[in-house]
Structure 1
């Protein structure tokens, strides 16, 4: 009798742990060790308009139009970010994981690094998928990133390096939701929950692509 009660208690504890992991655990992404550099969240530079763009991924150029027919979640940040980016990507990952398999196949996450001096395509190829295999990392030249950020109203400013040569990048923290036709459908504020992200994605999946 005692053995049965112990077994039930263990099962209940494991179930509670799994629920906590599914909804609250946020991974710390692999990558260069970050110092506790102070940084700030910036407001959008202007109202986002959206639009197509092409940047560089690990396997070559990546264009937004490559994902026509899918809902795309875009986030601008950098891998050395100590807290804001990992939080946002973790929430995106949880949203992707909560979708049905058929839905998840029609959603693509994109992490755009605004720190091309440190975030190479090779490094981004390790960093972004760590949060979820449905997220890719891309970047580009300073000129390319300026143009893409302008399209989406994203703002970012590189701080002056410290004595160790390390620096933070202040940046806005918005998750952009692109519909299957490549149009900007929503701009979700920082710390939007997985449920809020899913609520923005599912109607677009249902609507599909216009002919």
Structure 2
């Protein structure tokens, strides 16, 4: 990315900050961490059930990117449901130009098999990926995604992962163009990906 922040990214970050402030009083099992800086983004390689996924091989496609984990009780299902609604409005031709990636921030518990089963419930366009703790942390840092594990007394799982819940949209040329806050309406996601795909 260039040093000059794209206007689309600026406004998405602005609304992300407002959203985090407005939702500060709403307690969740998983705390949604705030993201306030524009990350550089960039290519990465992580593992899927079908083998390594290298974003450099996805040039020419718009990429939705989300960081979460399969045992997330409410934040991830909400975000992925909104993304699914947007993807469901795309035509087959538009879907061929779009890829959606779910990166697990719980690599100790999420396997490529469990991720494949998880994303299947939402949309066929979604690909679940993970890697070593170091590999996941590196990708998260590239996108400014934050996460950390917390113990939960009385929980069947015994833990939760507090994490940022932004949905990223990467342009077909590999540049990070949009960062959408948690619970961004599906219509906004749809309009943004159509805008990027129209120029491709």
Is the TM-score greater than 0.5?
Answer: yes
Contact 1:72–1:178, Cα closer than 8 Å, also in 2: yes
Which residue in the other structure is 1:196 paired with?
Answer: 188
2: distance between equivalents of 1:143 and 1:194?
32
Q: Relative to structure 2, which stretch is displaced further, 98-107 or 154-163?
A: 154-163
Deviation of 1:165 (Å): 5.7
1: distance between equivalents of 2:95 and 2:102?
17
Which residue in the other structure is 2:199 paired with?
Answer: 207
- Equivalent pairs, count: 172
2: distance between equivalents of 1:45 and 1:195?
23
| Residue 66, structure 1, aligned to residue 52, structure 2 | no
For residues 9-20 of structure 1, what are the structure 2 equivalents within 5 Å?
A: none
Q: Relative to structure 2, which stretch is displaced further, 49-58 or 97-106?
A: 97-106
Which SS does the other structure have where 1:153 is aligned? coil
For residues 1-211 of structure 1, what are the structure 2 equivalents within 5 Å?
A: 38-44=29-35, 46-160=37-151, 162=153, 166-208=158-200
TM-score normalised to structure 2 length: 0.82
2: distance between equivalents of 1:45 and 1:149?
14
Q: Which structure has the larger Rg? A: 1
Which residue in the other structure is 1:5 paired with?
Answer: none
Which SS does the other structure have where 2:33 is aligned? coil
Q: 1:93 to 1:165 in 2, by over 3 A?
A: closer
Deviation of 1:108 (Å): 0.7
Deviation of 1:161 (Å): 5.3
**Structure 1: 5+ residue stretches without partners:** 1-36
2: distance between equivalents of 1:90 and 1:48?
25
TM-score normalised to structure 1 length: 0.78
Richer in strand (by share) = 2
